[in-house]
Amino acid sequence: MTQEGAKYEHLYVVIEHEDGQPVPVSLEMLGEARRLMDGFNSKYSSDEKVVAVVLGNQIRPLCDELIFYGADVVIYADSPELTHAQSLIDTKVLNQIATDAALVKQYSPGSADFLKPRYMFFAADSIGRHLSSTVLASLDSGLASDINKLVIEDLDIKHEHKTKGLNLKYEKTLEMYRPDFSGFLWTTILCLDNRNPANPREFHPQACSIIPGVFEPLERNEGRKGMVIDFQPKLEPGDLKVKTLSRQLIQSAVQFDGKKSIVSFGRGIKDAPEENIQLIESLAQVIGAEIGVSLPISKKPFPVNERESSTYMIADRVIGTSGRKVAPALYIAIGISGAMQHIVGMKEAGFVIAINPDEDCPMKDECDIFIKGRMEDVLPALIEQLRIVKPAAVEVKKR
Amino acid sequence: MDPLKFGVLVKLEPDFSEGNVSYNADGTLNRAETKSILGPHSAVACSAAFYGKVKFGAKVMVGTMGPPIADSALQQAQMICDADELHLYSDRLFAGADTLATAEVLKTGVEKATIGKADIVFSGHRASDGETGQTGPQTAWKLGYSFLGNVIDYDLDPEKRLIRAKRLISLQGFHDVIEEVESPLPAFLALDPSYKPFFHKVSERLAEQKYLKEARERARDYKKYLTVFNVQQLGVDPKKVGLPGSPTIVYKVEKIPKAMASRKAQVIDGSDAASIRGVAEKIYQVLGGDVK
């Protein structure tokens, strides 16, 4: 399959930044890209590159940084029109970059027949999810979203349509693992050519968006070498028709940062949602904690009074992959089973206490103290003890 | 002036509200036991279209791809946005479609609206079951419309054919940004879940009541407004839809293996008062006595 290799090569990582500061997931994607391509190049005796793609305005220092974090090549499109992410222009420019063979020859003279990248990564956040969708629609290829594990392998595939039921080998296939909404199932998505004689088609790149916070960035290393290539985007007047009128940074109404303790609850409140939320409020009040929730709660699965619903069952309080990452000294998880998506959001906490009647729930492996019991029973007892113990604890501090 | 024309793309989804949703013993969704409804994000898209109907008298077409029972999602959508036209794209050949192949069907469907070419197409943020959020932007790209995502508010200038939208962008690990953008029509809007229409003027409130009444009446008789399209009727290329048009496949589904325990929990009996007291002391120890 050398032919295939020549047309589709290298791993492109679309970098997100805010005025030249990389968003953390950008460096995390580069770290994973580096690890994958090092393994790939040694396994297949090749020299395919990790290519970071930057759209922006006067942010060249960022490009150099990306090399220190693992990129072999940085393709940099610099234009005032690209200052902030904007779907239409960014999609066009990324499409141009991803299909520019002359550009590839600058960093990989052997890539003579380049058509498109082999792999492509985007961030699974408000910008990257949409951008990956439009870019892949423009490149007419497949996309998997919200990925938290990646493997490259040669796979034997038998599929009713892709292979017309035959067993065929697909080389260098990117296995893209995504946890489903429940957090208990892992679905592996593949992007494969149609090798069905009735309808042959090549689908490249194999692309995905990557959940922030799951991969480790590399240590910054100024010893890493790489090259920055300037790209002149070809913009037409029609591409500039969407105008940004204003931009305003906002603080979320709920502030987890700087809180020493966070109390979170999940679907376990279900037996008496309203009363349980009131207990959780009392607990949070005693220890001065902010209140968080698991993702299902933000979908308002239980009828509660309007105040509780609009105060707590909201996206702003979600901790996990679809919400905030927190790292308080103390984290108390109440009635949260511990789906992977939630764990990502709280695993950096200092000390973790879980309250749950089910000792087999995954949360048990993510906590330091597991209180087995129903929150209806445990919370009143815990609040009472906290009130009793409190003066003594404060006394200790004073001395 | 011609009335504005809107398209709304919706989806029938499992109902995740308590009492309707059913989980298997292992915590996964029991699809057979779970009811289906108009997805909550689809409902938000409908209410955004309704805002334009009330304010500007827009005509609305609602479309969905799915099995025959997905027409119930269209009926629920009509109840929200008083749709003038309903489309169900339904064919066995559409089965197994990934987001790219779905976008091809929806794009072709939007272009088939008898109310005319859509000035704005609305979609929800993402489906509650698939949760990819890809289908909307991919449909926008195929239509050649400018795509505005995460929209929390919008307004129109029908004379100048301009839309102004506020977008909420969340940069994880960074701050959030509210961005105001302006685009000529046609445009494609994916609504943020927090979007809510407000009608400030008395005239708008009266129009709202009038259209809501009409919506209830129409939805009672929704089949009168419904057109069902198969592959031929839609005139879509069979190679671009369903399995042949889908670059991606689901290779395998497995239970996420239990991660290596990252902490070693001390297990405490919640009914034992002495142990709970120990936890209370530990809490203050961790907090360093720093409590308000």
CB A146 within 8 A of CB A209: yes
Q: Which pLDDT score, from 0 to 100, does residue A181 have?
A: 65
pLDDT (0 to 100) of residue A356: 96
C-alpha dihedral, B24 to B27 to B32 to B36, nearest 10°: 140
Interface contact flag, A245 B273, Cβ < 8 Å: no
Distance of CA B241 to the CA centre of its chain: 21
Please state, in angstroms and rounded to a whole number, the distance separating the CA atoms of residues A281 and A296.
19
Nearest CA to CA, how far is A126 from chain B (Å)? 6
Contact residues, A window 35-94, toward B, CB-based 8 Å cutoff: 84-88, 91
What is the H or E stretch that residue B203 is in?
Answer: helix B202-220
Comparing alpha-carbon positions, the chain B residue that sits nearest to A157 is B251
A130 contacts on B by Cβ (under 8 Å): 133, 137, 147, 149-150, 190
Question: Which amino acid appears at position A316 of this protein?
Answer: D
- Nearest CA-CA distance, residue A234 and chain B, Å: 18
Q: Least CA distance to B98: which residue of chain A? A: A142
pLDDT tens string B47-61: 999 999 999 999 999
Is A120 within 8 Å of chain B by CB? no
Q: Pick the range with the lowest mean pLDDT from A17-21, A52-56, B121-125, B172-176.
A: B172-176
CA-CA-CA-CA torsion sign (A247, A252, A257, A258) = positive
Q: Could you report the per-residue pLDDT of B87-114, keeping only the tens digit for each? A: 999 999 999 899 999 999 999 999 999 9
B111: number of Cβ within 10 Å: 14
Whole-number pLDDT of residue B171? 72
3 state SS for B238-252:
HHHCCCCCCCEEEEE
Q: Cβ A181–B291 below 8 Å, yes or no?
A: no
Q: How far off is chain B from A46, nearest CA to CA, in Å?
A: 26
Contact A242 B273 (CB under 8 A): no
Q: Please judge whether B98 and A250 are an interchain contact, meaning their C-beta atoms are less than 8 angstroms apart.
A: no
Instruction: Determine the pLDDT at residue A240.
Output: 86
Distances (CA, A) of A68 to A58, A220, B38: 19, 5, 48
Sequence length of chain A is 399
Q: Do the chains contact at B182 and A88, CB–CB below 8 Å?
A: no
Checking A43-51 for CB contacts under 8 A at 24+ apart, the result is: A44/A172, A46/A5, A47/A108, A47/A110, A48/A9, A48/A10, A48/A11, A48/A108, A48/A118, A49/A10, A49/A11, A49/A73, A49/A107, A49/A108, A50/A10, A50/A11, A50/A13, A51/A10, A51/A11, A51/A12, A51/A13, A51/A75, A51/A107, A51/A117
Looking at chain B, the whole-number percentage of residues with pLDDT higher than 70 is 90
Output the 3-class SS for chain A: CHHHHHHEEEEEEECCEECCEECHHHHHHHHHHHHHHHHHHHHCCCCCCEEEEEEECCCHHHHHHHHHCCCCEEEEEECHHHCCCCHHHHHHHHHHHHCCHHHHHHHCCCCCCCCEEEEEEEECCCCHHHHHHHHHHHHCCCEEEEECEEEEEEEEEECCCCCCCCEEEEEEEEEEEEECCCCCEEEEEEECCECCCCCCECCCCEEEEECCCCCCCCCCCCCCCCEEEEECCCCCHHHHCCEEEEEEEECCCCCCCCCCEEEEECHHHHHCHHHHHHHHHHHHHHHCCEEEECHHHHCCCCCCCHHHHHHHCCHHHEECCCCECCCCCEEEEECCCCCHHHHHHHCCCCEEEEEECCCCCHHHHHCCEEEECCHHHHHHHHHHHHHHHHHHHHHHHHC
Nearest C-alpha of chain A: how many angstroms from B208?
Answer: 24
Rounded to 10°, the helix B40-56/B202-220 angle is 120
Q: Choose among B135, B248, B287: nearest Cβ to A287.
A: B287
- Chain A CB contacts of B280 below 8 Å: 382, 385-386, 388-389
The strands making up A330-334's β-sheet, listed across from edge to edge, are A290-293, A261-265, A330-334, A351-356, A369-372, B266-269
Decide if A249 touches B, using CB distance below 8 A: yes
- Which of A371, A379, A397 is best to mutate for the B interface (most B CBs within 10 A)? A371
Asked whether A17 and A76 are in contact (CB, 8 A), the reply is no
Per-residue confidence band for B172, with pLDDT thresholds at 50, 70 and 90:
low
Distance CA B121, CA B197 (A): 16
Q: Which stretches of chain A drop beneath a pLDDT of 50? A: 1-5, 396-399
Q: What are phi and psi of B212, to 5 degrees?
A: -65, -40
The CA distance from A386 to A170, in Å, is 60
Shortest Cα distance, chain B CAs vs residue A389, angstroms: 7
Q: What CA–CA distance (Å, rounded) separates A306 from A319? A: 22
Per residue in A131-144, pLDDT (tens digit) is 999 999 999 999 99
Say what the pLDDT of residue B173 is.
Answer: 59
> Which residue is closest to B131 within chain A, CA to CA?
A181
Question: Which of B172, B192, B240 should we substitute to test contact with A (largest number of A Cβ atoms within 10 Å)?
Answer: B172
Shortest Cα distance from B4 to chain A (angstroms)? 20
Q: Which residues of A touch B105 (CB under 8 A)?
A: none
Q: Is B97 helix (H, G, I), strand (E, B) or coil?
A: coil
> Distance from CA of residue A70 to its chain's centroid?
18
Q: How far is CA A250 from CA A3, A40, A291, in A?
A: 50, 42, 20
pLDDT, tens digit (0-9, with 9 covering 90-100), for A103-133: 999 999 988 899 999 999 999 998 999 999 9
CA distances from B127 to A296, B9, B13, B168 (A): 14, 11, 7, 18
Give how far Cα A316 sits from Cα of A26, A290, B221, Å: 23, 12, 39
Question: Residue A194 forms beta bridges with which residues?
Answer: A201
DSSP B4: P
User: Does the structure show a pLDDT above 80 at B128?
Assistant: no
Q: Which whole-number Å values give the CA distances from B109 to B47, B76, B143, B219, B263, in the listed order?
A: 21, 19, 10, 21, 52
Q: Which residue in the set B21, B248, B265 is minimally distant from A370, CB to CB?
A: B265
Q: Name the pTM for this structure.
A: 0.85
Cα separation, A347 vs A339, whole angstroms: 12
Burial class of residue A364 in the structure, from the number of CB atoms within 10 Å of its CB (0-12 exposed, 13-18 middle, 19+ buried): buried
Which residue in B188, B287, B290 has the most chain A C-beta atoms within 10 A of its own C-beta, making it the best mutation to test that interface?
A: B287
Q: What pLDDT, on a 0 to 100 scale, did the predictor assign at position B291?
A: 46
Q: What is the pLDDT of residue A299?
A: 80
Closest residue to B171, CB basis, from A18, A286, A382: A18
Q: How far apart are CA A93 and CA A149, in angstroms?
A: 28
Distance CA B126, CA B148 (A): 14
Residues of A in contact with B273 (CB under 8 A): 381, 385
- Torsion sign across C-alpha atoms B48, B53, B54, B56: positive
Q: Is the dihedral of CA B101, B102, B106, B107 positive or negative?
A: negative
CA angle, residues B213, B219, B224, in degrees to nearest 5: 125
**pLDDT value at position B79?**
97
Q: Which of B28, B148, B276 sits opposite A184 (nearest CB)?
A: B28
Contact B248 A386 (CB under 8 A): no
Inter-chain CB proximity B190 and A179 less than 8 Å = no
Find the residue in B nearest to A398 (Cα): B289
DSSP category for residue B183: E
d(CA A301, CA A270): 9
Nearest to A330 among B183, B248, B286 (CB): B286
Q: Does A164 touch chain B (CB under 8 A)?
A: no
Cα–Cα distance for residue pair B56/B59, rounded to 1 Å: 9
Q: Which chain B residues have a beta carbon less than 8 Å from that of A254?
A: none
Confidence of residue B137 (pLDDT cuts 50, 70, 90): very high
Q: Running DSSP on this structure, what letter comes out for residue B66?
A: S
Q: Scanning the structure block, which residue is given the tokens 């492509």? A: A120
CA nearest A117: which of A15, A201, A30, A206? Answer: A206
Contact A145 B247 (CB under 8 A): no
Task: Give the amino acid at A254.
Answer: V
For residues B221-237, give the mean pLDDT.
Answer: 97
CA dist B118 and B137 (Å) reads 16
Chain B positions in Cβ-Cβ contact with residue A300 (cut-off 8 Å): 17
CA distance B224 to chain A (A): 33
Contact A369 B268 (CB under 8 A): yes
CA distance B270 to chain A (A): 5
Asked whether the beta carbons of residue A248 and residue B177 sit closer than 8 angstroms, the reply is yes
Interchain proximity B133–A199, CB inside 8 Å:
no
A341 close to B (CB below 8 A): no
Positive or negative CA dihedral for B64, B65, B71, B72? negative
- Chain B nearest CA to A103, separation (Å): 25
